[in-house]
Structure 1
Amino acid sequence: MRNDLQLKIVDIGDDVEVCEIVERIQVLIRLIFSSSSAYKIIADKDTKLVKSAMEVSPVNMPNEPTAISMAVDCLNCGRHHELYINLSQNPQIDFEMQNQGKIPFPDDDILQCECGEELDLSEISDNLYNTNNI
């Protein structure tokens, strides 16, 4: 029997930086493997994750939206306003929306009602632009 082969064991738990890196890798691997339908087995001394293969039908992803439509009522007279934002900058979208009786969302976020009331749409605009990355 050979006695010159030796195994050196280093406890990485004492090195905070290395320990954090290993934990991040473990979390990422679990996230990646748990979100796929391929067959996998992951095992360590404490846990065993098994994922079985299954046939997945291709999914038709909808196209990106070309416009956002909304309705706003005047607080003064109750008039109903149909607005839209053209996301594609396609002039055909403007033509179709205006044929439906909709008006473009005002660039200054102020909608002037026929009764003279100015409707401040900045909150709607901020919400749309922040939520949809417009």
Structure 2
Amino acid sequence: MTDFTIDSDVLAGYRRRADAARATLKSAYDTSRSLRKDRDELLAAASQRQQVAEVGGRRNGSEPIDFLHPDERERLTKIQARIEEAAGDERAAEREAERQNATAGRVVAYADKHRKAAEEAAFVARGEAKPTPPQHHATGYSARL
């Protein structure tokens, strides 16, 4: 009888790749969260400066970003670009993790299908009746009388 068990090293390889993709996803998420925190701190400082200016009667109606220094604006622009890049990394890592999990699932299903076929062939070769589940009608009753 042919053995259709899954080589544990093969399955472990798929799992390692899926774990690596999840680790990449976590790293991208952590980076994105850190960048969003930096962005929010910059915008909070700008908003505070705006409120101080409005209380003093200056520049009413301006946007908070107008109250950032030029180097802060440049930093904010870089942060925004890195946030978008991290979001792209997150999506790519999600797709890779899903792909690796799906591949591992297909390998397991393939091996299971062939294992069942081999078991049935072994029953037939030994002259035994192969085990079959009871057949049911649409009513739900067993077809056996």
Q: Which has the higher helix share?
A: 2
Larger RCO: 1 or 2 (CA < 8 Å, sep 6+): 2
Q: Which has the higher strand share?
A: 1
Q: Flag the structure with larger Rg.
A: 2
Q: What is the TM-score of this pair, normalised by structure 2?
A: 0.23
Q: What is the TM-score of this pair, normalised by structure 1?
A: 0.24
